Amino acid sequence: MNLNPFEFVLDLFVPRQNANFSSIHSYLSQAEIDTQIPRLKNLEVGQKQYLNQVLIASEYSSNLIQDLIERAKFYGEIAITYDFAKLLFSKTTEMPKPDLIVPVPFDPGRRVQRGYHIPELIAKDLAKFLKTEVSTILVKTKNTAQQTLLDREERLKNLENKFKINSPEIQNLEKAKTIWIVDDLVTTGTTLLECAKTIKQEYPEIEIYGVVVSGN
């Protein structure tokens, strides 16, 4: 992590920490990253035509990671996203390297409310680790209810046809053979699936992988 002098001094007085550990300049130690067990999400037959794989870097049951996601998403500790990117980088060494990293699109209403979008921040840092490009090639066309408040069937309907390709970024998409779609949290996988479907409908030859910090 490249810290500016202000951040370095601030960390000395207010160390970055989780409930169990403080390394002053980071929220996750390498040892804590190493203890997270990644896995591939079981995809249904219909999902496999859009997504090659979905890698989940840590289990949803990890209180450590869930606490950090909550703090980043709802309490503005966005520096945590660097540690999430580092976690993803360490767990994706066996995956095909992406030509492009794409964050799941933000909900317009929540972006205005929060002023930031966690998947986008993670994607930008992950792209630096991988020395590749990040692009907001997908946009969400309208506000939707939060997925966590809905059951599986409602989630599918909630996001159906709610994404589109961002025209100013299309040149990045046209030259990509492999894409990683990045999110902080996955449950049913509906968001990743709809994102991948939107791309595949226009560019069926692209291989698409979901890369997620935490999930079940």
Question: Taking a C-beta distance cutoff of 8 angstroms, is the pair 140, 108 a contact?
Answer: yes
pLDDT digits (tens, 9 = 90+) for 172-183: 888 899 999 999
- pLDDT at position 178 is 97
Regarding beta strands 22-24 and 16-17, do their DSSP bridges make them parallel or antiparallel, or are they unpaired?
A: antiparallel
Greater confidence (170 vs 123) lies with 123
pLDDT digits (tens, 9 = 90+) for 157-173: 555 668 899 888 888 88
Could you report how far apart the first and last alpha carbons of the chain are, in Å? 29
- pLDDT at position 216 is 84
Helix axes of 118-130 and 80-91: crossing angle, nearest 10 degrees: 50
Helix axes of 152-159 and 190-202: crossing angle, nearest 10 degrees: 40
- pLDDT at position 147 is 46
The predicted model scores a pTM of 0.86
Helix axes of 118-130 and 63-75: crossing angle, nearest 10 degrees: 110
pLDDT tier at 198 (50, 70, 90 boundaries)? Answer: very high
Helix axes of 80-91 and 63-75: crossing angle, nearest 10 degrees: 140
pLDDT tier at 188 (50, 70, 90 boundaries)? Answer: confident
Of 59-68, 69-78, 147-156, 178-187, the poorest mean pLDDT is in 147-156
Domains and CATH numbers, the chain: 36-215 (3.40.50)
pLDDT tier at 34 (50, 70, 90 boundaries)? Answer: very high
- Strand-pairing partners, residue 5, are none
The whole-number average pLDDT for the span 64-68 is 94
